[in-house]
Structure 1
Amino acid sequence: MHRPPTPEAEAALADELSVARPGLSAPYAAALPGARAAVLTRLWRALVYEPMPWVARRETGRDGLTLHLADGRRLHGPHADPYATASYVTELRLDGTPHDRPERLVLALAVPHAAAFAAELGDSVASLALSRAGQPVSDHEPVTGWEWEQRIVDGHPYHPNCRSRPGFSAAEQLAYGPEHRPLVELGLVASDDCLVTGEWPKWLRDGERVLIPVHPWQVAHVLDEPVQEGFAAHPLMSLRTLALPDGPHIKTALSARLTSSVRDISVYSIETAATVSAFMETITERLDVPLHITRTLGAATANSPDLAAVLRESPDLYANPGERVVPVAALATTALPQSPAWLAEFTRLALTVCLRLLDLGVALEAHGQNLLVVLSPTGAPLRLVYRDLADIRVSPARLAHHGIPVPDLAGRIVTDDESTLRRKLFGALVGGTLGATAGSTAALRTAMDAVVDDLPHTPDLTALRREPLPTKALTLMRLSPQTPGDIWAQLPNPLLSPAL
């Protein structure tokens, strides 16, 4: 039975948990205050830095920051660091009334679409507390990539919906969430009429029929197809992508809203998968930079975003003996060396590679899930690995300027708009990956200051040094369901000025 998306998701999930896993009830209850603070901190960051139309002005004081709302009310909280990852907000005051529950604060704000967003926030708090409950204490260092990804418990470092999983019961979260360390049994759906790009393997065929791996949540809630028994795989941090025990990764369709997006696989992504993968393989062979791209091995769809899958290489293939391939999102959750010197070297590596690609005409969405780093046996950052090419951007004009053949692509992936290209990279890499790895404006500024003067001088680097930093306005997007596409905010540039 599924709980309805209500602001009292904490109690509803507790009721489910008492049946599904009663041994976790006490740890779940103990984790709730910390989960509320984690989501409230992310929400406060959004209210301070995103262009909310109902915030008239923001006023900095000695004791914190006050948002003057358009209706005359005031919302007061602590000074906000746009790159902080620690949970430092335990309470916000709306006209003097304290709020420690993010969903109840949003309901009290009574802004457009507040009720739906409040339900998502309540779900995020409850799911985050469940994710934190019962986490094992272990000194064992992960060996495989999927083990690293299981260490990422809190989800998106800046999105208030960091763990929102509406439509997932407590039992389903425990069965499918990577932080709960399950094995997930994928099913197989046979299709006679299937679009396939790349090489679809024989072990995923039944004669002339294509066998499409499907997620069990999809089977239970979306698909109305006969499903064959499949195989077990380890879920990765995106939930819908899973690692087979022998290496390859399978990206499944999962028609549920997680954080911001519904996680299906568009027919467009399948159509372009092989072309984009081959193009990026050519680009990386041409470049003299320490970057690997995980190849897309095959992609298939039964002409539906609800019934599709992508098979790609495991990033683990790009580690030499003694090296480790670690998703960047896992860096802040481990005891790996992260001194200021280490952070500067990682920043140098990431900016060098990604700015070089951008100059040539490819903007990576290099957030902590897509970007991985190869570490030496001593923990030094050596090379980058990038996976999931579905949302990169490619500039034909920039490619042509460098004499690079333009791939046969159309649609959303292709653009020559400089603002779009820079937003794609800077928002994910600096505002996401580097900011979250640093954990504060001060640490990010120190790392970037140490390396930017040594980078090749390009117009993109100039923009990075002189302009506010673009980032997706993730909360405003959830409060603006009538607005298609991305909405952007501007963060204080750590190279220019301190945060509010």
Structure 2
Amino acid sequence: MHRSPTAEAEVADELAVVRPGLLPRYEAELPGARAAVLSRLWRGLAHDPLPWVTRREQGRDGLTLYLSDGRRLHGPRPDPYATGAYVTVVRLEEAEYDDPARLVTDLAVPHSASFAVELGHSVASMALSRAGQEGRATDGWPESGWEWEQRIVDGHPFHPTCRSRPGFSVAEQLAYGPEHRPLVELGLVPVRAQECLVTGAWPRELRDGERVVLPVHPWQAAHVLKRVCEERRAGHPLMALRTLALPGGPHVKTSLSARLTSSVRDISLPSVAASAVLSDFAETPAAHAGGLLHMTRTLGAAAAGSPDFAAVLREPPETYAGGGERVLPVAALATTGLPRSPAWLAGFARLALTAGLRLLELGVALEAHGQNLLVILSPAGDPLRLVYRDLADIRVSPARLARHGITVPDLPARMVTDDERALRRKLFGSLVAGALAGTAGSGAALTEALETAVRDLPRTPDLAALRAEPLPTKALTLMRLSPQAPGDQWAELPNPLA
């Protein structure tokens, strides 16, 4: 076996200093973390349109990739919808690899060196995240929404850099990572109002006379803004890490100029400028969903002249839950045990597809992955309604909206398109290949749920495309190996309904 000990050893060395009692558990979690990241990587290698893979050949014993330099890469038959660590070893020529970072290093394709570093950190951070769960009970249902979010340990179910947190020390991961369940103190920085872009209703408690008080993540304050914050307010970090739930208050999304999975998590000035208009517009598609889906409102947004120094205040999803109901991100459903029931999974898929397709027919394509999409459960655990948050990544079709007598407001140009392929990619790639696949956990379970769910749905052109065409998904591995190509790139997966 080949090993890439660098990131793993670095974390072990730091852990021995800051939390030595956690070190044995961390080391025990490393093999499972390697397999989990390798499984995600194999999904990308098997399906992404990588320019150095000349052909793929399925055999009885697995899948062989033929590389442009004449080498062959062999692994198990891929299940693009599996969330378990089912890939433990792949073979490049005669050498076996159980370490995704070492494999990518030895593939030696363009940009593989930097990608290998990310993979190494993803493995080490996942092992650290899993190590921190020992002795923590997950029985019972939490009362608070943030507690559900902190149950999500492994990050993105299909992204190979699901746990890569470049620039974060071990101490900072333990202090800020939601899976470690800390209480994080946001810095409060007063800025003269004339130096700020403010939209929406910025609350009185975050104003100081003529100054606007911006919440700042402590990592951002220390590493990017290089300042000490004298005033602070504590909050619970959500699965997005940079977004915190303030007790009795809103959710606060802060700028975090670090690359988590594929993107640097700052807050652009155009998104701050458009936030109030977009929040008001969201009432239209929510009404069109017929009570099946709510959209959280943006209460206010502010930026002090830079994407590195900005914040957005959002309505908590719990606003839309009734007595005894619970709201949790779809990514947290795996911790409930509910998806094990085929009938429950089919009912949830029907709810999600009904709402998503209604909005798509209207002209709004949601980025409905397991973080943005939340489900409201009855006291008995039945899926009742959905909540969608973070409007910045939706796509809006003027032509479709016009058919319903709706005019598109002044939104950023990147959000507006009449390209049906782009609209369907946005919804199907996030909802079906993302949220529903991640909840189902395997291709077989996803197929069964979808076949049941679509039987009674209206026969629209969008549903016909979902049933007949390859299923789009973001080519996450290709994107990390193509840093020079901006924006999303796409792969096609076997259609579970075909």
TM-score (norm 1): 0.96
Q: Could you say which residue in structure 2 is the equivalent of 1:3?
A: none
Deviation at 1:336, TM superposition (A): 3.4
Deviations, residues 130-168 of structure 1 (Å, cap 9, x unaligned): 000030331242111100011000000000001000110
Does structure 2 conserve the Cα–Cα contact (< 8 Å) formed by 1:68 and 1:75? Answer: yes
CA distance in structure 2 between the aligned counterparts of 1:437 and 1:337, rounded to whole angstroms: 7
Given that residues 269 and 390 in structure 1 are in contact (C-alpha distance below 8 angstroms), is that contact kept between their aligned partners in structure 2?
yes
Q: Give the letter for the 1:307 counterpart.
A: F
| Aligned ranges 1:403-422 → 2 under 5 Å | 403-422=405-424
Specify whether residues 276 and 37 from structure 1 end up closer, same or farther in structure 2 by C-alpha distance, changes over 3 A only: same
Q: Supply the distance in 2 between the matched residues of 1:400 and 1:285 (Cα, whole angstroms).
A: 16
| Map of 1:170 onto structure 2 | 170
Q: Which residue of 2 aligns with 1:438?
A: 440
1:137 is the counterpart of 2:136: yes
Structure 1 SS opposite 2:379: coil
The 8 Å contact of residues 337 and 379 in structure 1, kept in 2 or not, is answered as no
Asked whether 1:123 is paired with 2:125, we answer no
Q: CA RMSD in A?
A: 1.2
Q: Alignment partner of 2:305: what SS?
A: coil
Secondary structure of the corresponding residue to residue 450 of structure 1: helix
Letter in 2 for 1:386: Y
Q: Which amino acid aligns with 2:185?
A: E
Task: Give the alignment of 1:152-301 within 5 angstroms.
Answer: 152-192=152-192, 193-225=195-227, 227-301=229-303
**Structure 1: which amino acid aligns with 2:49?**
P
- d(CA) in 2 for partners of 1:164 and 1:410? 30
Q: Deviations over 1:352-373 (max 9, x none)?
A: 0010001001010000000000
Unaligned runs of 5+ in 2: none
Aligned to 1:82: 80
- C-alpha displacement of 1:453: 2.5
- Taking the aligned partners of 2:427 and 2:342, their CA distance within structure 1 comes to 23
Equivalent residue letter for 2:354: T
Asked if structure 2 preserves the Cα contact closer than 8 Å seen for 1:99 and 1:105, the reply is yes
Counterpart-to-counterpart distance in 1, 2:124 and 2:412: 41
Partner of 1:65: 63
* 1:8 partner SS: helix
Q: Is the 1:189–1:226 contact (alpha carbons within 8 Å) kept by the matching residues of 2?
A: no
CA distance in 2: counterparts of 1:320 and 1:148, whole angstroms: 17
| Structure 2 residue aligned with 1:450 | 452
Task: Determine the C-alpha separation between the residues in 1 that align with 2:281 and 2:244.
Answer: 24
Question: Structure 1 runs of 4+ off > 2 angstroms?
Answer: 224-228, 333-338
| CA contact 1:55–1:69 (8 Å) conserved in 2 | yes
Distance 1:386 1:250 in 2: 16
Aligned to 2:33: 35
The one-letter amino acid of 2:44's match is A
Cα distance in 2 for residues equivalent to 1:122 and 1:313: 36
Kindly indicate whether the alpha-carbon contact (under 8 Å) linking 1:189 and 1:225 is maintained by their aligned counterparts in 2: no
SS of alignment partner, residue 68 of structure 1: strand
**SS of corresponding position for 2:393:** coil
Amino acid at match of 2:420: E
Q: Distance in 1 between matches of 2:338 and 2:324?
A: 15
Secondary structure of 1:445's partner? Answer: helix
Q: Percent identity?
A: 72
With normalisation by structure 2, the TM-score equals 0.97
> Which stretch has the larger CA shift, 249-258 or 449-458?
449-458
For residues 16 and 365 of structure 1, the distance between their equivalents in structure 2, rounded to whole angstroms, comes to 37
Q: Give the secondary structure class of the aligned counterpart of 1:125.
A: helix
Contact 2:401 2:407 in 1 (8 A): yes
CA offset at residue 398 of structure 1? 0.7
Distance 1:140 1:170 in 2: 30
**CA–CA distance in structure 2, aligned partners of residues 287 and 19 of structure 1:** 53
Q: Secondary structure at the match of 1:493?
A: coil
Contact conserved, 2:235 with 2:246, CA < 8 A, in 1? yes
- 3-state DSSP class of the match of 1:484? coil
Distance 2:438 2:6 in 1: 30
Q: Give the whole-Å Cα distance in 1 for the aligned partners of 2:218 and 2:493.
A: 39
Match of 1:384 among 368, 386, 391: 386
More divergent stretch after superposition (113-122 vs 289-298): 289-298
Deviation string 1:418-458 (CA, Å, 9 cap, x unpaired) is: 11111111100001001111111111111111121211121
In 2, the alpha carbon distance for the partners of 1:98 and 1:334 equals 36
Which amino acid in 1 is paired with 2:152? I
Report the 3-state secondary structure (helix = DSSP H, G, I; strand = E; otherwise coil) of the residue aligned with 2:285: helix
Contact 1:40 1:100 in 2 (8 A): yes
Change (3 A) 1:287 1:74: closer
Q: CA deviation at 1:226?
A: 5.7
Unaligned 5+ runs, structure 1: 1-5
Alpha-carbon displacement from aligned partner over 1:394-431 (angstroms, at most 9, x marks no partner): 11111111112322224211111111111111100001
1:286 CA displacement: 4.4
User: How far apart are residue 337 of structure 1 and its match?
Assistant: 5.4
Aligned residues: 491
SS at match of 1:203: helix
Do 1:7 and 1:103's aligned partners in 2 also have CA atoms closer than 8 Å?
Answer: no
